[in-house]
Chains A and B, each alone.
Chain A
Amino acid sequence: MFSEKAKKNADACRFCWMCRHLCPVQLVTGKETNTPRAKGLQVSMLERGMTMDAECARTMYECLLCGACTNDCATGFDPLVFIREARTQANVLDLVPAEVRKVIDRVLETGNIYGAKEPRVDLSGVPETGDTLVWLGECARHSVPETAEALFAVLRKAGVPFAVLKNEPGSGSSLGDLLGFVEDVRAQAQRAGEAIRRSGAKRVIVLDSYDAALMRHEYKDWGVELPEIVTATACVDQLIREGRLSLKQTHEVITYHDGSRLARDLDEHEPARAILKAMGYEIHEMWQNRRLAKCCGSAVAGQYMPDIRLRVAENRWNDVKRTDAKHLTAACPQSTEALAATAPEEYRYTDLFVLVKEHL
């Protein structure tokens, strides 16, 4: 049962197959079923009576929901609409691959994809209430805590008092990617909104761009009212422009990876570049940058298809190798998780906030 919007988006495909050049998963698997075009065809056939089977369901999960296809679709339609709904159908029909099911169960039980009970970030001495709340997201809290701690150091240096929730609930971002946008996801978003409200925050600095995108685009439609939402990159850029951070200078060449949700869903490209320039870095761009950026693999995909996520991240490093930069940075914890673990020999990855901390 697909919405008419999903059906229209699926049926709109002209089979030009240009999306095969864009899909980061198809680029490493070479499988036609990994193109948005093939997924659209399958959704069209499901709507015409074909029964969804386990293989079709698996195909729908072999996608990062990065939006590269939507951004450059020749017909201007949005494959993510029907891919999300196909995932919902897979759940309704109990056809979700076992490895995906495990991740869903972990999120439902613990609020995060890692199934972690306690954050790895050092939150000692950090209050839970205040005007400014830093929302970390599951990846920074449980997988790459150094990104969160670096952001804390930068904010402290700039004299920005902030609070962090010790038991930060899931935002609904991962669950929304796994289940599609169903009531269970909205319920998680409502719990997150309630936790933010209890913190008394007037402004929320969001570190994980997946969470920021969901909060900015879906929360209001779901009846979840939030205070001002600011991405961590926009916040740090603003602090630099206000002269509240003095940064050591370098002349090193670096390249910047635009996280897919930051670049496409939030349409934010320049603050991270401005931060790098403020430290004196010379940015040598990869060919696919800004809205055209190639995804390096989401944290949630890393949990249920680690092999594909690894190859997707390695493929992004291939783009780095086509520049003369030996140093890569990105501004989303999920990018850091994927790229830090796959840096080739002679290349270096540093999270943007860790980089700023090093330049304080």
Chain B
Amino acid sequence: MNIIVCIKQVPDSLEVRLKDDYTLERDFVAQVMNPADESALEWALRVRDRTGGAVTALSMGPARAEGMLREALARGADQAVLLTDPRFAGADTLVTARCLASAIRALGGADLIACGRRAADGETGQVGPMTASMLDIPCVTNAMRAEAAERLTAEQLTEDGVTVWTCGYPALVTFCEWSYRLRLPTLAGLKKARQAEVRRLMPEDIGLSAAECGLKASPTRVRHVEAQPAGVRPCRQVSAAECLAALRERYPEAGL
């Protein structure tokens, strides 16, 4: 089973400054692997350990993201690929998904693609499903658990409970942060990671032009960002009777 895991660096802090274009100022805070992507990586490693094959860690980001990819190698990934070029910078979710899908195709595809369900910084949860859509493969989001046997079975967390999905391969699964806890690096893995090559790809390596990458190609524009005053929510004080009426209206099936 050949698995590609898409991983992203996110700031290891709740206080991150924004640049003038409302992208994150990442230089002043340590970057760590996105927690949900850790979960995806651990699942991929378990599948690989059981069924054989290889796990490729794929990321798009600045050169410093190579450190995170080496960490993935130290924890058990077989190879690492970094999409890094100034032309990739500032991509929104659509363009990020386009770049990842193009890279996955350029790498020869995969039986499984594992992603985190959302990034701790942007929290859109869009990149995984959009990548699957662009690759025209099935996608299960918010997976709590998944099993790769003859077919893929994944338990999806929904607002009302759990839905179990099955599908064939290839497929893309996005995992919750807490689904699988990523193993620590081994000493042997750290030795390997020191020597391993992290393959770097540029737009032309994945069949994209500069016009299809980065901020310029991104239809999303953040026009304004406003901080919500801490501890203040737009709440309205209501009486118990008003509250009950609102609950009855919202949840008629509850029989309140």
Are A184 and B30 in contact, with the CB atoms below 8 A? no
Determine whether A1 belongs to the interface, using a CB cutoff of 8 Å to chain B.
yes
- Tell which of A4-12, A68-76, A125-133, A265-273 binds the partner: A4-12
Determine whether B183 belongs to the interface, using a CB cutoff of 8 Å to chain A.
yes
Are A88 and B187 in contact, with the CB atoms below 8 A? yes
Determine whether A281 belongs to the interface, using a CB cutoff of 8 Å to chain B.
no
Are B183 and A186 in contact, with the CB atoms below 8 A? yes
List the 3 closest pairs (A to B, CB-CB), nearest first.
A223-B181, A4-B30, A8-B30
Are A222 and B190 in contact, with the CB atoms below 8 A? no
Are A1 and B190 in contact, with the CB atoms below 8 A? yes
Are A7 and B30 in contact, with the CB atoms below 8 A? yes
Contact A182/B67 with A5-B32, A8-B30, A92-B194 known, Cβ cut-off 8 Å:
no
Determine whether A3 belongs to the interface, using a CB cutoff of 8 Å to chain B.
yes
Closest A residue by C-beta to B68: A4
- Determine how close the nearest CB of chain B comes to the CB of A350; give it in whole angstroms: 39
Are A182 and B29 in contact, with the CB atoms below 8 A? no
Taking Cβ atoms with an 8 Å cutoff, the residues of B that contact A are 12, 29-32, 64, 67-68, 70-71, 74-75, 181, 183-187, 189-191, 193-194
Are B186 and A222 in contact, with the CB atoms below 8 A? no
Bound Cα distance A221, B57 (Å): 22
11 contacts between A and B (CB under 8 A): A1-B74, A3-B32, A3-B71, A4-B12, A4-B67, A5-B12, A88-B187, A182-B184, A182-B190, A183-B184, A186-B184
Bound Cα distance A31, B249 (Å): 73
A4 CB contact (under 8 Å) in B32, B183, B184, B191: B32
Interface size class of A (residues with CB under 8 A): 20 to 34
Are B193 and A1 in contact, with the CB atoms below 8 A? yes
A184 CB contact (under 8 Å) in B12, B186, B191: B186
Closest B residue by C-beta to A5: B30
Bound Cα distance A91, B185 (Å): 13
Are B187 and A182 in contact, with the CB atoms below 8 A? yes
Are A88 and B190 in contact, with the CB atoms below 8 A? yes
From B68, B185, B194, name the one whose CB has the most chain A CB atoms within 10 angstroms.
B185
Q: Which residues of B contact A222 (CB under 8 A)?
A: 181, 184
Determine whether A25 belongs to the interface, using a CB cutoff of 8 Å to chain B.
no
Given A3-B32, A4-B64, A183-B189, 14 new contacts (CB under 8 A): A1-B190, A3-B30, A3-B71, A4-B30, A4-B32, A5-B32, A8-B29, A8-B30, A88-B190, A182-B185, A182-B190, A183-B183, A183-B186, A221-B181
Q: Which residues of B contact A1 (CB under 8 A)?
A: 67, 70-71, 74, 190, 193-194
Bound Cα distance A110, B112 (Å): 41
Are A92 and B190 in contact, with the CB atoms below 8 A? yes
Contact A182/B186 with A5-B30, A8-B30 known, Cβ cut-off 8 Å:
yes
Determine whether A181 belongs to the interface, using a CB cutoff of 8 Å to chain B.
yes
Q: Which residues of A contact B67 (CB under 8 A)?
A: 1, 3-4
- Determine how close the nearest CB of chain B comes to the CB of A109; give it in whole angstroms: 16
Closest A residue by C-beta to B185: A182
Q: Which residues of B contact A221 (CB under 8 A)?
A: 181
